[in-house]
Amino acid sequence: MIVFNARGLMPPVFTPLNDDLSINYNVIPAYAKYLADNGIKSVLVGGTTGENMCFSVADRKKVADAWVKTGKTCGLHIMVQVGGAPLSDVLELAEYCSKIGVDSLLTLPELYFKPQSVSELVSYVKLVANRAPNLPVLYYHIPSMSKVELNMPSFIIEATQSIPNFKGIKFTSNDLSECAQVLRALKEDQEVFLGADTLLAPAALLGVKSSIGTTFNLFPRLAQDILVAVEENNVAQARNLQNKLSLAAEAHTIEGAWVPIMKAGMEIVSGIKMGPPALPQLPISEEAKKRIAARLKTLKLIN
Amino acid sequence: MIVFNARGLMPPVFTPLNDDLSINYNVIPAYAKYLADNGIKSVLVGGTTGENMCFSVADRKKVADAWVKTGKTCGLHIMVQVGGAPLSDVLELAEYCSKIGVDSLLTLPELYFKPQSVSELVSYVKLVANRAPNLPVLYYHIPSMSKVELNMPSFIIEATQSIPNFKGIKFTSNDLSECAQVLRALKEDQEVFLGADTLLAPAALLGVKSSIGTTFNLFPRLAQDILVAVEENNVAQARNLQNKLSLAAEAHTIEGAWVPIMKAGMEIVSGIKMGPPALPQLPISEEAKKRIAARLKTLKLIN
Amino acid sequence: MIVFNARGLMPPVFTPLNDDLSINYNVIPAYAKYLADNGIKSVLVGGTTGENMCFSVADRKKVADAWVKTGKTCGLHIMVQVGGAPLSDVLELAEYCSKIGVDSLLTLPELYFKPQSVSELVSYVKLVANRAPNLPVLYYHIPSMSKVELNMPSFIIEATQSIPNFKGIKFTSNDLSECAQVLRALKEDQEVFLGADTLLAPAALLGVKSSIGTTFNLFPRLAQDILVAVEENNVAQARNLQNKLSLAAEAHTIEGAWVPIMKAGMEIVSGIKMGPPALPQLPISEEAKKRIAARLKTLKLIN
Amino acid sequence: MIVFNARGLMPPVFTPLNDDLSINYNVIPAYAKYLADNGIKSVLVGGTTGENMCFSVADRKKVADAWVKTGKTCGLHIMVQVGGAPLSDVLELAEYCSKIGVDSLLTLPELYFKPQSVSELVSYVKLVANRAPNLPVLYYHIPSMSKVELNMPSFIIEATQSIPNFKGIKFTSNDLSECAQVLRALKEDQEVFLGADTLLAPAALLGVKSSIGTTFNLFPRLAQDILVAVEENNVAQARNLQNKLSLAAEAHTIEGAWVPIMKAGMEIVSGIKMGPPALPQLPISEEAKKRIAARLKTLKLIN
């Protein structure tokens, strides 16, 4: 039986790039250590933040290799997102990951011939899960990007019935009402990872204990403190810290698209070289970076 | 200066109908007393639950009259929703309400020539607010029905600048991230009323203290207990009670459209005769009513 | 049996307003004569162009009265659009129209409690049709405004089965593929009126002989010439004339929303005083009007 | 200067598969000959019909090789669609195609980090076009699948200014009004290919002379006859033939998704083995195939 035990805050890692847009593998060990030193126990490789939808299969394999190797050293659970490419590549990646020591898989839905029903989506995820039968497999629900907007509670029930290694979903939507329904539909050994940095505290109140959020790269301690405040029944503290994290996110979002702004913010906050976003996305301007830094200072999130 | 002081749980009242679909004014005093006896301090007349978008101006005036009269007796703040009709009627209703003792107004956006920008929406709400300059006026954001999906934080800032008696919004959306932004955009004497029964507790954690939700008609004490649990820093209790209210809502929603199911549920729970929905909506079947009652018994919400 | 015999080009008439936004009934006889003199045989009163969704029931009755009276003089078939208001008002208007000599009815769907299925839409149209059993009743499909996007061929089949006086639809969409399916679904005595001024010629090629288009107010002869060109198998002529009409429409559309620009254009072209749009819509600027006039001169549509 | 001279009917070719879902290259020469024998002068390889969004880069290269080789023999212009994959793969394919004798390129937009503006889309197409500077490059507008719904006339103007080898678009939408605007925005040496089998005749009336439609694989002579009828000013004939082609399409569409039904229909009509669709799509049932065949017999399209 497949056991899936990653829980709590899971940063979706950036893929560091050199200025020539090649992948900068050298920085990964330092990046992993920074996360582990800040209390992080698991990471998602190749999600939206990791821009895997822009890379070749060969590069995606090398990135997975690098994180698996480093993850062993730091004691990180390595989840790899294998979707967002032609299905033949997705299947090849799933099989590859099943052999190199990846701990769990996440997959987007088909992006072109989009599933028109819950059954079609289950059928797709099953194809992927069958290629990595030794790994826990989760589904990546992110309708704002994938434009696949199916009912998640129904999906979970049907996927659980037909996919032995189906272990949950990443739920990237601000609809906590549906997220609570997802939670009620999950079995003991399955998990929902919220994907909404601005809703960490209210989701925790509803019982959502795990999250995948880009800002956990930048502010892992703050995110952890939010969960602790809810755990300790300190509502006012949870609200204040959530407000702080939300304002930190907004300090970035007014400057552009999610990955370019967050990649810039990560460099500002951590000092670790992230480089530009992968094409077709473009980096934000130096002026925008300065404005972000100024706002983070005002929020006392950097010195 | 216009003072707006309604806060907390505000049930949007049903419009009771006779079997011939005429409005049953006789039941309103008992209905109001039931709410007041259960701790309710304010009601919304003629919202989605009240089906005002189906009635003539003459009927809407009579309904407002009846609630104002009864509200005085029971000490209820009476907010009336005046939108969802041709603008000339909306303006006539706003002016009428300003003269009969209504306490505050709520208005939907234009439903046909929908505003294409925040400015156009502000312009519409201003027309309404100008007809009732002595009353607090709030905007009814419910994109799932109105199909007007503009950015609410931006709207609030612009509306506050140009409408003296603009006092807040009803925010009927499950996006608590935007709701928190709305909260941060509001001034001291303005209020956001969440319109999402399944998110009362998580919204309260974020600082949202007021709500307009149909289920507060059916379960006013349960809804109040949720707010108290959050207030008292009892997260587990808040979660359990919210789950109960959410399951109570789901006990209805699988049987049909919102107003027909809730009108049926209100009869089951309160024993007060609500009658069928207004045309074009149709009542649910007797079998569906029995299934709802059975589920509510299982949830120990009725005996 | 109800006979419906309006065919061909049917301008949806503007509702002329005075500068104080009251309805200018005085201009209606001249307006009707202008249309009749230009070969028009039927008009739609109170459609989108007529802004009926902004007026009270009382005003809508008076407008219908005025057109019926004038229509008799000019020999115009008078179709009245009764929807876009609370259902109780829609039903009152349908009944009123059935008694005053209106020739046919058109109705929008419910704008707030929108039909979720073809059956719910049929149920709504049936309620309206039953109030005017002596009149042909057509459905107004305009998903861009009503946000009711149901399959029209299916609707027609089901409506025809259950509504004796159902006689067709106004199809306001640029999807001529669905329009052709509609045409194939209609019975002998039913009609589809295209609502797409820029597609008059290609629709005619497909067999769509009737149209309701705002620009037929401004350029009734040009529109007629397009139909004649198709009828006479002169494809190049049809294309050239359609291009001319389309460019005439574009001369307006870059200046604002449909009714304000077209109402302005109608004054420019016909010299008949149309006045401002009804609230909440606002008139375009004098500069915009001049730019429209200049473009129409370039197109040799005015001197 | 890059010359682009493909015009007229361009079938988007299927990618024939063996029963084990491997690509069946052997059938390509016979397939190409069938098309050439039926008057076809150019084909699109790897569009939606060709399911390139499901295959690896290696397979896509081999498919392109096979068609280039066969195309030379048959005198077919070979356009290859290179998008619908991670950008790094798209660029690799564009470069590859530029070297092997492909005649022109078509590209989808980015499917995950979707362009939010016309400028972002131009930037993407420019990246692709720069990798194949010796080839004409066209953009594949298919909002129903790509969910990229930007204004095409604006895109064309901006793309033409900044991409020297930009030569037009495939316009897969039923909105002939926007298609006519596209036509007016194009320069002499650019072309719009309509992607709407049911609108061939009305588009031709508007001056659209080129089309890419799946059914041209099945019924190349019928499609050609439609264009001839319009060319010869025979409107009734154009209408009748278009109706026939549209009914032939509908004979398939009620049985499932586009590629599985059309792949089945192609086998029925041409006798050439097409095999199942590529995963994640599934083949239709044998019963569905029989129903399609029966309908095509009724339409006298097969014996």
H-helix or E-strand spanning residue D291: helix D286-298
Which residues in chain D are contacts of A279 at CB distance < 8 A? 87, 127
Distance of CA C180 to the CA centre of its chain: 19
DSSP SS3 for A28: helix
Phi, psi angles (nearest 5°) of residue C68:
-60, -45
Answer yes or no: is D251 within a domain: no
Amino acid residing at D150:
L
Instruction: Extract the tokens encoding C10.
Output: 């049917």
> Residues D150, D153, D154, D157: is their CA dihedral positive or negative?
positive
Cβ atoms A190, A166 nearer than 8 A: yes
| Residue C79 and residue C115 in contact, taking contact as beta carbons nearer than 8 Å | no
Per the domain annotation, does B162 fall within a domain?
yes
Domain for residue B79, yes or no? yes
Any domain includes C80: yes
CA gap C114, B142 in Å, rounded: 14
Task: Report which residue type is found at D165.
Answer: N
D197: Cα separation from own chain's centroid:
11
Contact at 8 Å (CB) between D200 and D213? Answer: yes
A196 vs A176: CA distance, rounded Å: 10
Residue type, C79: M
Distance CA A270, CA A30 (A): 11
Tell me how crowded residue C224 is: count the other CB atoms within 10 A of its CB. Answer: 18
Helix axes C57-74, C87-100, angle to 10 degrees: 30
Strand runs labelled E in chain B:
12-13, 42-45, 77-81, 104-107, 137-141, 166-171, 191-194, 210-211
- 10 Å CB burial of residue D122 (0-12, 13-18, 19+) is buried
> SS3 for C186-241, per residue?
CCCCCEEEECCHHHHHHHHHCCCCEECCCHHHHCHHHHHHHHHHHHCCCHHHHHHH
Chain A neighbors of D257, CB-CB under 8 A: 113, 116
* Chain B hits for A196, Cβ within 8 Å: 177
Instruction: Decide if C233 and D230 are in contact by the 8 Å CB cutoff.
Output: no
**Residue D41: predicted pLDDT:** 98
Please indicate if any CB of chain B lies within 8 Å of the CB of C140.
no
Q: pLDDT of chain A along its 303 residues, tens only?
A: 899 999 999 999 999 999 999 999 999 999 999 999 999 999 999 999 999 999 999 999 999 999 999 999 999 999 999 999 999 999 999 999 999 999 999 999 999 999 999 999 999 999 999 999 999 999 999 999 999 999 999 999 999 999 999 999 999 999 999 999 999 999 999 999 999 999 999 999 999 999 999 999 999 999 999 999 999 999 999 999 999 999 999 999 999 999 999 999 999 999 999 999 999 999 999 999 999 999 999 999 999
> Does the complex come out with an ipTM higher than 0.90?
yes
Cα separation, C31 vs C15, whole angstroms: 10
Distance CA D247, CA C33 (A): 44
> What is the tally of structural domains in chain A?
1
Q: Bridge partners of A139?
A: A107, A169
pLDDT of residue A1: 83
Q: Tell if the CB–CB gap between B180 and A246 is shorter than 8 Å.
A: yes
Chains touching A (3+ CB pairs < 8 Å): B, D
| Whole-angstrom distance, CA of residue C45 vs CA of residue D240 | 35
What gap in Å lies between CA A24 and CA A276, rounded to an integer?
11
| Residue D168 pLDDT | 98
Residues pairing with B156 in the sheet: none
C238 touches chain D (CB under 8 A): yes
Distance between CA atoms of residues B287 and B270, nearest Å: 19
Query: CA C56, C62, C64 angle in degrees (round to 5)?
Result: 100
Name the residue type at position D17. L
Nearest-by-CA chain A residue for D21: A88
- Chains that contact D by 3+ CB pairs under 8 Å? A, C
Separation in Å, CA B144 to CA B148, B171, B175, C119, C186: 8, 11, 12, 21, 33
* A183 touching chain B per CB within 8 A: no
* Cα–Cα distance for residue pair C184/D244, rounded to 1 Å: 12
Q: Which residue has the tokens 């007393």?
A: B33
Percent of chain D with pLDDT over 70: 100
Question: CB–CB of C276/C282 below 8 Å?
Answer: yes
- Rounded Cα–Cα distance for residues B202 and B183 (Å): 14
The 10 Å Cβ neighbour count of residue D286 is: 9
If you ran DSSP here, which 8-state letter would residue A129 be given? H
Q: What is the pLDDT of residues D262-283, one digit of tens each?
A: 999 999 999 999 999 999 999 9
> What's the rounded Cα separation, in Å, for the pair A241 and A245?
6
What is the mean pLDDT of each successive set of 10 residues along chain C, which is 303 residues long? Answer: 95 98 98 98 98 98 98 95 98 98 98 98 98 98 98 98 98 98 97 98 98 98 98 98 98 98 98 98 98 98 94
Place of tokens 């097969």: D302
pTM: 0.97
Q: Give the pLDDT score at C1.
A: 83
Question: Which amino acid, D62?
Answer: K
Using CA atoms, how far apart are residues A277 and D220, in angstroms rounded to an integer?
Answer: 46
Nearest by CB to B54, which of C55, C86, C282? C86
Q: What residue numbers bound the domain in which D86 lies?
A: 25-232
pLDDT digits (tens, 9 = 90+) for C141-200: 999 999 999 999 999 999 999 999 999 999 999 999 999 999 999 999 999 999 999 999
- Closest Cα in chain D, distance from residue A293 (Å): 25
- Ranges of beta strands (E only) in A181-298 are 191-194, 210-211
Annotated catalytic residue A170: yes
| Alpha carbon distance D11, D221 (integer Å) | 12
Residue C125 lies in a domain: yes
Tell which residue, A86, B239, A151, has the closest CA to residue D58: A86
Residue D206: name the closest of C219, C237, C231, C228 by CA.
C237
Give the phi and the psi of residue C189 in degrees, each rounded to 5. Answer: -95, 15
Of residues B220, D48, B1, the one with CA closest to residue A114: D48
- Residues in binding site of B: 49, 212
In a domain, C162, yes or no: yes
Residue A275 lies in a domain: no
Contact call for B279 and C85, based on CB within 8 A: no
Residue A282 in domain: no
Q: Does residue A278 belong to the interface with chain D, where contact is any CB pair within 8 Å? A: yes
- Helix A235-253 and helix A220-231: axis angle, to 10°? 150
Strand pairing partners for C80?
C45, C105
Helix (H) or strand (E) holding D168: strand D166-171
Rounded CA gap, C285 and C282, in Å? 9
Average pLDDT over residues D71-99: 97
C110 touches chain B (CB under 8 A): yes
Distance in angstroms between the alpha carbons of the first and the last residue of chain D: 48
Residue D1 has pLDDT above 90, yes or no: no
Neighbours of B274 (CB within 10 A): 21
- For A11, A73, A192, C99, D224, the CA distances from A211, given in Å and listed in that order, are 8, 23, 8, 65, 57
**D301 interfaces chain A, CB cutoff of 8 Å:** no
Which of A87, A113, A280 lies closest to D110 in CB terms? A280
At residue A76, the 3 state secondary structure works out as coil
Dist. CA C281–CA C159, nearest whole Å: 34
- Mean pLDDT, residues B137-157 taken together: 98
pLDDT band at D210 (very low <50, low <70, confident <90, very high): very high
Q: What is d(CA A142, CA A48) in angstroms, rounded to the nearest whole number?
A: 10
Q: Read out DSSP for B148-164?
A: ----HHHHHHHHHHH-T
The mean pLDDT of B247-274, rounded to a whole number, is 98
- Among the options C140, C167, C209, C263, which is catalytic? C140
CA–chain centroid gap for D26, Å, is: 21
Mean pLDDT of D209-225: 98
Closest CA to A253 of A265, A239, A241: A265
CB pairs A-D closer than 8 Å: 96
CA distance D113 to A257: 9
Q: What local confidence, expressed as pLDDT, does residue D4 receive?
A: 97
Phi and psi torsions of A77, nearest 5°: -75, 130
Question: Which CATH number do you get for residue C149?
Answer: 3.20.20.70
Using the 8-state DSSP alphabet, how is residue C62 labeled?
H
The rounded distance, in Å, linking the Cα atoms of C47 and C50 is 5
Cα C229 from Cα C169, distance rounded (Å): 25
